[in-house]
């Protein structure tokens, strides 16, 4: 009896507590041009003991510590009197935003806590307009104050969020103060330990938008397997209902007219024009799509393609495809990356994949990357795997943590669902098999399919080894369209590379398989052609040759995203000669120096592409 009660309780705990349609962020502002980009010099003030929020003994913070107050400290001090301050964000030092504080200031290299940022700005507004601030990513917990008023909060380091500031905004001298707490714990996503650097801060742009009272908050389109273009548009504001809506793709001579329903939503469903050129890596055709509704208009550049699985094949536009890829962390090439990915940084990284490696695919690991990476992938013709940081060990049992994961997934899907390049949503990376973990991932997979049934669901799984056979026996397999595994035989453990070549795989035959990771460290420039030891470029190149030879014997293997394009910062990697805080599995060094293994993979992909 007890077992049944336990099972029922466990099952009830696993039930998603938020219905999928309640996961849509209340404000999106997708595909809208900003009125002001607030990137630039922001002042900052450390608050390691979080006294800006809570004072000693749990008492409320003292005004003299409340960085978010709308006070000109110098002017107040000039008036004299008993009051005093223990901060001043007007006279504080400044750093370049977007960017992580760990890379901006040497003494902040390992600062992991609450940092206050301030940006002053003017905002001339037209009557009847509404004002919003859109943060493209802040790592990890954010509290936003404008002119002394708290206007919003967010948790999650890699997805956008929007706060309305219509009431709090003023024409001149706005004081935007953002509290950013980078601390992770057992109930964050990811949890405390990862194999990447802290990167706390406002790591992507903050932009000001001013819209009509009723505006287009979101619009989406896609091509269906049945050859139709379908989508929707959502108005936000006081008059959303029964508004005239038009959709226009001039290059296809396509114009659609409809009206919004009582909820301000309009739907599109029309046969794809005969002249439509489908998006693919070889021909990444993008169209300017214009939406008009209620006097507002937005435009986006979109590609149209289909993606599906059939048995063990992945079908792009109905044709089987092999994914020639690489995994990428969100770090720009350079000696001191600050997770500042502008268009030039994105083009440099993705150009190494498209042109250097002859790739057609990137795994944007282990969290949603900067939207710029998705848009450049759309343009260059690189298919994309996207994932939220459900990475290693997460609190699988607390419903609030599952809701956090589902919200992150929703924020990612609503941001990126118009990107043709994006074909795979991953719901986890290397999470140890357990009942509570499988329930968590199953709920995430259900969320993905409820929000975006047009793409494929995967996860990077761990494998089991019995002698020279590798098995995949993960209960999560039934939830996945595409099986993905991380395999490191020949690097972790004591396998020789000859053993690696002989390894056999026991995998389900009815689904496509990806090697989502394999890799070996190499310190760029360390050569030893005679001994070929681990950490030498020679060993890394031999490792790739052996692993590619093994991969050739896996009949359902449909793609690779080896670990990793570029050496990246990790506090777990401290060998004083070879690592010094860098994970060296990159095919290029942190400054972009290609290693011997780069050419091994490039030759392999060049041959595959023929
Ligand atoms: C794991 C993990 C990566 C990590 C890599 C490594 O597979 O997914 O995030 O960096 O192995 O050990 O280098």
pTM of the model as a whole: 0.96
Which residues of the chain fall below pLDDT 70? 1-18
Q: Any bridge partners for residue 569, and if so which?
A: 582
The total number of residues shown for the chain amounts to 610
CA dihedral 278, 279, 281, 287 (to 10 degrees): 130
Which ligand 1 atom lies nearest to the CA of residue 583? 13
Domain with CATH 2.60.120.260 in the chain: 36-211
- Beta-carbon contacts of 498 under 8 Å, excluding residues fewer than 6 positions away, are 546
Domain with CATH 3.20.20.80 in the chain: 317-609
Cβ pair 219, 29 in contact under 8 A? no
Pocket test of ligand 1: the residue of 330, 390, 430, 516 to mutate, having most ligand atoms within 8 Å of its CB, is 430
pLDDT tens-digit series, residues 344-384:
999 999 999 999 999 999 999 999 999 999 999 999 999 99
Cβ pair 419, 364 in contact under 8 A? no
Q: State the Cα–Cα distance between residues 543 and 140, nearest whole angstrom.
A: 36
Q: State the Cα–Cα distance between residues 169 and 188, nearest whole angstrom.
A: 32
413 phi/psi in degrees, rounded to 5? -65, -45
Which ligand 1 atom lies nearest to the CA of residue 585? 13
Pocket test of ligand 1: the residue of 489, 581, 583 to mutate, having most ligand atoms within 8 Å of its CB, is 583
Q: How far is the CA of 429 from the centre of ligand 1 (A)?
A: 9
Q: How far is the CA of 195 from the centre of ligand 1 (A)?
A: 6
For ligand 1, atom 4: residue with the closest CA: 195
Q: How far is the CA of 297 from the centre of ligand 1 (A)?
A: 44
For ligand 1, atom 9: residue with the closest CA: 195
- Cα 350 to its chain centre, rounded Å, is 15
Q: State the Cα–Cα distance between residues 587 and 45, nearest whole angstrom.
A: 38
Side-chain half-sphere CA neighbours of 508 within 13 A = 22
Q: State the Cα–Cα distance between residues 380 and 360, nearest whole angstrom.
A: 9
Q: How far is the CA of 320 from the centre of ligand 1 (A)?
A: 29
Which ligand 1 atom lies nearest to the CA of residue 568? 10
Which ligand 1 atom lies nearest to the CA of residue 391? 8
Which ligand 1 atom lies nearest to the CA of residue 429? 8
pLDDT the model gives residue 610: 87
For ligand 1, atom 12: residue with the closest CA: 195
Output the ligand 1 site: residues, CB below 6 A: 195, 366, 429-430, 486, 517, 563, 583, 585
Domain 36-211: top CATH class: mainly beta
What CATH number does the domain located at 228-305 have? 2.60.40.10
Pocket test of ligand 1: the residue of 195, 329, 431 to mutate, having most ligand atoms within 8 Å of its CB, is 195
pLDDT the model gives residue 457: 98
Which ligand 1 atom lies nearest to the CA of residue 194? 9
pLDDT tens-digit series, residues 59-99:
999 999 999 999 999 999 999 999 999 999 999 999 999 99
Q: Which tokens hold the place of 160?
A: 């956008």
Domain with CATH 2.60.40.10 in the chain: 228-305
Distance (Å) of CA 528 to CA 411, 520, 524, 531, 540: 47, 15, 12, 6, 11
Q: How far is the CA of 456 from the centre of ligand 1 (A)?
A: 23
For ligand 1, atom 10: residue with the closest CA: 195
Pocket test of ligand 1: the residue of 364, 563, 570, 571 to mutate, having most ligand atoms within 8 Å of its CB, is 563
Q: How far is the CA of 432 from the centre of ligand 1 (A)?
A: 14
Q: How far is the CA of 486 from the centre of ligand 1 (A)?
A: 8
The three-state secondary structure class of 236 is strand
Which ligand 1 atom lies nearest to the CA of residue 430? 8
For ligand 1, atom 7: residue with the closest CA: 486
Burial 111-143 (b: 16+ CB within 10 A, else e): bbebbbbbbeeebeeeeeebbbbbbbbbbbbbb
What homologous superfamily is domain 317-609 in, according to CATH? Glycosidases (3.20.20.80)
Give the single-character DSSP code of 355.
I
């Amino acid at each position: 009896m007890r077992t049944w009660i336990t099972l029922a309780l466990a099952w009830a705990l696993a039930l998603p507590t938020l219905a999928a349609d309640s996961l849509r962020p209340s404000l999106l502002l997708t595909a809208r041009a900003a009125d002001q980009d607030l990137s630039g010099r922001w002042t900052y003030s450390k608050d390691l003991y979080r006294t800006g929020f809570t004072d000693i003994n749990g008492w409320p913070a003292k005004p003299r510590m409340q960085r978010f107050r709308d006070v000109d400290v110098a002017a107040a001090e000039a008036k004299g009197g008993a009051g005093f301050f223990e901060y001043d964000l007007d006279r504080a030092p400044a750093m370049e935003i977007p960017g992580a504080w760990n890379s901006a200031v040497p003494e902040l290299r390992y600062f992991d806590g609450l940092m206050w940022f301030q940006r002053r700005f003017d905002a001339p507004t037209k009557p009847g307009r509404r004002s919003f601030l859109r943060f493209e990513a802040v790592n990890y917990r954010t509290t936003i104050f404008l002119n002394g008023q708290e206007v919003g909060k967010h948790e999650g380091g890699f997805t956008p969020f929007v706060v309305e500031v219509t009431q709090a905004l003023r024409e001149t001298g706005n004081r935007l103060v953002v509290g950013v707490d980078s601390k992770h714990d057992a109930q964050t996503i990811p949890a405390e330990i990862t194999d990447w650097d802290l990167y706390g801060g406002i790591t992507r742009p903050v932009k000001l938008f001013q819209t009509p009272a009723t505006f287009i908050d979101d619009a989406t389109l896609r091509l269906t397997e049945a050859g139709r273009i379908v989508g929707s548009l959502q108005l936000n504001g006081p008059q959303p209902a029964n508004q005239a809506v038009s959709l226009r793709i001039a290059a296809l001579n396509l114009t659609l007219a409809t009206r919004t329903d009582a909820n301000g939503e309009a739907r599109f469903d029309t046969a794809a024009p005969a002249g439509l050129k489908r998006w693919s890596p070889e021909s990444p055709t993008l169209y300017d799509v214009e939406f008009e509704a209620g006097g507002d208009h937005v435009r986006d550049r979109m590609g149209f393609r289909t993606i599906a699985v059939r048995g063990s094949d992945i079908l792009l536009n109905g044709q089987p495809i092999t994914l020639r890829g690489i995994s990428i962390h969100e770090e720009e090439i350079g000696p001191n990356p600050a997770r500042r990915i502008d268009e030039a940084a994105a083009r440099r990284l993705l150009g190494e994949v498209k042109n250097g490696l002859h790739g057609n695919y990137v795994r944007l690991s282990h969290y949603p990357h900067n939207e710029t990476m998705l848009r450049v992938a759309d343009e260059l013709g690189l298919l994309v795997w996207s994932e939220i940081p459900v990475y290693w060990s997460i609190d699988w049992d607390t419903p609030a943590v599952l809701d956090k994961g589902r919200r992150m997934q929703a924020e990612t899907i609503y941001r990126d669902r118009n990107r043709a390049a994006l074909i795979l949503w991953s719901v986890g990376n290397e999470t140890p098999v357990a009942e509570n973990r499988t329930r968590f991932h199953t709920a995430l997979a259900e969320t993905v399919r409820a929000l975006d049934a047009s793409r494929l669901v995967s996860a990077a799984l761990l494998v089991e080894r019995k002698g020279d056979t590798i098995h995949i026996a993960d209960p999560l397999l039934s939830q996945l369209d595409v099986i993905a595994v991380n395999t490191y035989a020949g690097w972790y453990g004591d396998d020789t590379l000859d053993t690696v070549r002989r390894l056999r795989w026991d995998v389900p035959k009815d689904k496509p398989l990806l090697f989502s990771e394999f890799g070996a460290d190499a310190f760029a420039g360390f050569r030893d052609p005679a001994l070929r030891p681990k950490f030498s470029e020679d060993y890394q190149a031999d490792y790739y040759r052996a692993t590619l030879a093994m991969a050739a014997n896996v009949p359902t293997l449909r793609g690779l995203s080896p670990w990793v394009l570029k050496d990246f910062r990790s506090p777990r990697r401290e060998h004083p000669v070879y690592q010094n805080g860098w994970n060296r599995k990159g095919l290029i060094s942190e400054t972009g120096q290609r290693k011997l293994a780069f050419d091994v993979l490039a030759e392999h992909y060049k041959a595959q592409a023929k």
